[in-house]
Amino acid sequence: MRADGDPNLIVYFGGQYVPMREAKVGILTHALHYGTGVFEGIRAYWSEDEQELFVLRAVEHFDRWKKNSGILHMNVPPAEELCTITAELARRNNLRTDLYIRPLAYKCAERIGVAIDDQDAFAIVAIPFGEYLHSENGLHAGVSSWRRIDDNAIPPRGKICGAYANSALASDDARRCGFDEAILLNESGHVTEGATCNLFMLRKGRLITPQVTENVLEGITRDCVAVLAQHELALEIVERPIDRSELYICDELFLTGTAVGLAPVVRVDHRAVGDGQIGAVTRRLRQLYFDAARGHLPQYRKWLLPVYGSGRVRQDAARMKEPSFA
């Protein structure tokens, strides 16, 4: 899915709430030329039953964004302040549907020259957003010829804007070849993740995902799904390198990410995964994830920040107290 912005949508830019049509940067902005920005992706889900908008694990997302911004010597406000801004954006726009929230920190000096300086800024946009990948019948993924960038080149865990040229190249190739999504290998030939999402496979009753040292994003949705698998399905989670050919012989395969949620993969490189249908474990985890995200599972309400009902932002409403799987 591509979500185009409404020019009248209120966004947070330059320390103010302004219409998107007024949120502009100059043509010489450093981040535009050199990729020196760091973004975050956050989901909010509308509950029709409760008439409430829930932001999913907002504090963890903003904490990650703040830490990643530090890689480029940029500073953003603390998570609680960012949660307040985000909730206010939703209220000012009267958004009562599923959202994608895009915080962006960027080097804002308008000049030529690659060296970074201390001029930076940040913005937050909350935009109505449905399915990123239409995966109700499962996806057909292809292993890309483009390799995942290495931590010592541009750290994939950092969500640095320039790094996403790697994802764009892989995604473009995949779609031109008739696939729904790309799967990237690292320079060692091991599976890393999709172009914009983490990867899990089920083999012999165990849920396996690459280690975070395999040049993958330390995904928050990845963590949600792993916690649900452990606590609700009693599945063992294994972090280890995955060979390409394991994708062809595994029992089930799926992708996780803020935009995609949980997306089943039923074919890889023109080969069926399992019986070529969405597997029982994948289907159950997908249901659990979206039930938790919409507030239907009381034990995971601590993951959710309510926008309309609470009247104020509370940090403990956005952070899950139980430990993550990793």
Distance CA 216, CA 210 (A): 8
The distance from CA 40 to its chain's CA centroid, rounded to whole angstroms, is: 7
Q: Do the Cβ atoms of 12 and 124 come closer than 8 Å?
A: yes
Which position has the token pair 């996780």?
256
Q: Is 159 a catalytic residue?
A: yes
* Both structure tokens of 236: 């063992």
* Both structure tokens of 80: 């609680």
Give backbone dihedrals phi and psi of 229, rounded to 5 degrees, phi first: -65, -40
Which position has the token pair 């430990």?
323
Amino acid letter at 21?
Answer: R
Distance CA 202, CA 252 (A): 5
Give me the catalytic one of 107, 159, 302, 321: 159
Q: Any idea which residues carry the catalytic annotation?
A: 159
